[in-house]
Amino acid sequence: MKYINEIDTEGFIIIDAIYNENEIEKLTSIIESVTEDKAGKTTFRKSEDLFAIRQFHKEIPEALDSIFNQNLKNIIKSNFGEDYFITKSIYFDKPEKSNWFVAYHQDLTISVDKKIDVESFENWTTKQDQFAVQPPKDILEKNFTIRIHIDKTTKDNGALKVINNSHSKGIYRVENMDFKNEKETVCEVEKGGIMIMKPLLFHASNKTTNNERRRVIHIEFSNIELPNGLDWSERTNIN
């Protein structure tokens, strides 16, 4: 279960059959039962195009045991080690008729517990009482993201598109990207599969065209202690 070479080279990997049908059904049931009770919370965003839950693992901690099954724990341990922890999570539900899309970008910010002056931490923002900041490049390079696919995701219902190996450019302006000379991959993932990606990998998402739902749990990980009293606002250890 060693995938780290491909992750380092391409910036991502797709791994199918991490969860079986029963595990997906249980996870879905947990999410649906809780969202009905908490739909008015500020961490919940709902529109015709998108339903999202920010701080997902804090809002629905009941889901963590189902998410971190033995398959996922083994993949994290064998490829990244035992010292990584959750730093952020979001649940995305892209409805059947969604026209929501995302242009090519890198994930350049992290969620932190306070706003303080720290060298090389810049571009501060605040959203829904949540502080975000762009950390130094070496922090972003060591972090990784796992996207858990509750539904089959194809090019027709908003699968991510990525530019292979674009994470190796470091922090890079999208307008400087020579797309005609880059390799683009549409990351189709089976139900119960995962995608692992690096934050600096350029990625985008198209509109849904086949009237099929797409639900994804996006979880970010780090093993870095932040400096000068700054801390990850959503930090949670993996049991």
What pLDDT shows up at residue 44?
65
Cα-based distances in Å from 214 to 123, 130, 158, 172: 31, 26, 7, 29
- Residue ranges in 119-214 assigned as alpha helix (H): 137-142
Alpha-carbon gap, residue 129 to 65, rounded angstroms:
27
Q: Which CATH number is 175's domain given?
A: 2.60.120.620
> 46 falls in which pLDDT band (50, 70, 90)?
low
Judge whether residue 38 has pLDDT over 70.
Answer: no
Domain containing 99: what range?
4-237
The residue type at 62? E
Judge whether residue 68 has pLDDT over 70.
Answer: yes
> 211 falls in which pLDDT band (50, 70, 90)?
confident
> 160 falls in which pLDDT band (50, 70, 90)?
very high
> 49 falls in which pLDDT band (50, 70, 90)?
low
pTM over 0.75, yes/no: yes
Q: Could you read off the pLDDT of 97-114 as tens digits, one per residue?
A: 667 789 999 999 999 999
Q: How many independent structural domains does the chain possess?
A: 1
Q: Could you read off the pLDDT of 170-194 as tens digits, one per residue?
A: 999 999 999 999 999 999 999 999 9
Q: List b or e across 76-111, with b for residues whose CB sees 16 or more CB atoms inside 10 angstroms.
A: beebbeeebebbbbbbbbbbeebebeeebebbbbbb
Residue the block writes with tokens 């242009």:
103
Rounded mean pLDDT, 16-24: 98
Alpha-carbon gap, residue 208 to 11, rounded angstroms:
25
